[in-house]
Amino acid sequence: MTSAAPSSRQGGSARTGRPRSAEADRAILAATREALVELGWPGLTLGDVAARAGVAKTTLYRRWPGKSALVVDAVAALFDERLDLPDLGSLQADIEGVVRQFAALLDRPETKTALMAVVAESTRDDALRERIRTAIVDRQKRLVLLGRERAQARGELPRDTDPVASARTADLIFDVVAGAVVHRTLVSAEPVDTDWARRFAALLLGGLTAATGD
C-alpha cells in the first residue's frame, strides 16, 4: 500500500527527454524524514533536504510545490506503516490499542513536530488541506470503520440502520479519538499511558453504548 506519489507531470504527452529518477523520490522523502528528526519543522530547509538527498534544489521544486506538501507526503507513509487495528478481543481493548499506537506515532520526532505545522499552514492553503485529507485523514478513517464492524460482529454495538447517520458517527468518533490524543500529546504535553488510554476508551465506549437512539 504505497502512499501518495508526488505530483506527477501535469502535461499529458510527456515521453521525451530524460525520465525522472524514481530513486530520487525515495531519497528525497527519506531525507525529509531524517531532517525532520534532527532539525524539526522550523529548522527544516529545502536546501538541506536537497543536499541530504544528493539532489539539486531544482529537482525538488519540480516535484513538490513547497515545504509543506513535501512534509505531508513524507509523513503520510509513517501513518500507513505504523497504524493498524489488530483484533484484541473487545472494543475497549481495540480502542486502547489504536490510541496507544497513535500516541506512539505522535511521539516520534518526525510527526510530533511536523503534523501541527502542516495543519497550521493548511488553514491558508486549500491545496495543502486537500493533500492532508487524502494522504492522511481519509486513509486512517478505515480504522474507525474496521473497529466498528468488528464490534458489531461481536455484538458490542448495534448494526447500522441509516447509512448516512452511520457515516456521520464515524466522522465524529474519528475527530474525538484523533483530537483527544493529539491534544493530550501536543498541547497538554502529558503522556498517553496505559491509564489514560483505559480511561479514555471507557469514556468513549460509554458514550457509544449509551447513545441507543439518537
Using CB under 7 A as the binding rule, whether residue 18 contacts DNA is answered as yes
Residue 161 as a binder of a second copy (CB under 8 A): the answer is: no
Q: Contacting DNA (CB under 7 A), which of 1, 2, 12, 58?
A: 58
Binds 144, which of a second copy, DNA, none (CB < 5 to 8 A, cut-off by type)? Answer: none
Select the span of 15-23, 107-115, 146-154, 167-175 touching DNA (CB under 7 A).
15-23
Task: Give the one entry of DNA, a second copy, none that residue 187 binds, where binding means its C-beta sits below a cut-off of 5 to 8 angstroms depending on kind.
Answer: a second copy
CA 131 to CA 72: how far, in whole Å? Answer: 7
Does residue 199 interact with a second copy by CB under 8 A? yes
Q: Does 106 help bind DNA (rule: CB under 7 A)?
A: no
Contact partners, residue 6, CB within 8 Å, separation at least 6: 25, 63, 64, 73
Copy the grid coordinates of residue 22: 524514481
Nearest to DNA of 67, 131 (CB atom): 67
- Least gap, CB of 42 to DNA (angstroms): 9
Which CB, 54 or 207, lies closer to a second copy? 207
Taking CB under 7 A as the rule, does residue 54 contact DNA? yes
Does 137 participate in binding a second copy (rule CB under 8 A)? yes
Classify residue 110 by burial, with Cβ atoms within 10 Å: 0-12, 13-18, 19+. Answer: buried
Closest listed residue to residue 70, CA positions, set 44, 96, 32, 37: 32
Closest of 114, 84, 115, 111 to residue 1, by C-alpha:
84
Residue 124 interacts with, from DNA, a second copy, none (CB under 5-8 Å by kind): a second copy
Task: State yes or no: residue 127 binds DNA (CB under 7 A).
Answer: no
CA 32 vs CA 25, 179, 180: distances in Å: 11, 25, 27
Question: Which spans of this chain sit near DNA (rule: CB under 7 A)?
Answer: 9, 11, 14-21, 24, 43-48, 54-59, 61-63, 66-67
Question: Which spans of this chain sit near a second copy (rule: CB under 8 A)?
Answer: 40-43, 112-117, 119-124, 129, 132-133, 137, 168-169, 171-172, 174-176, 178-184, 186-190, 196, 199-200, 202-211, 214
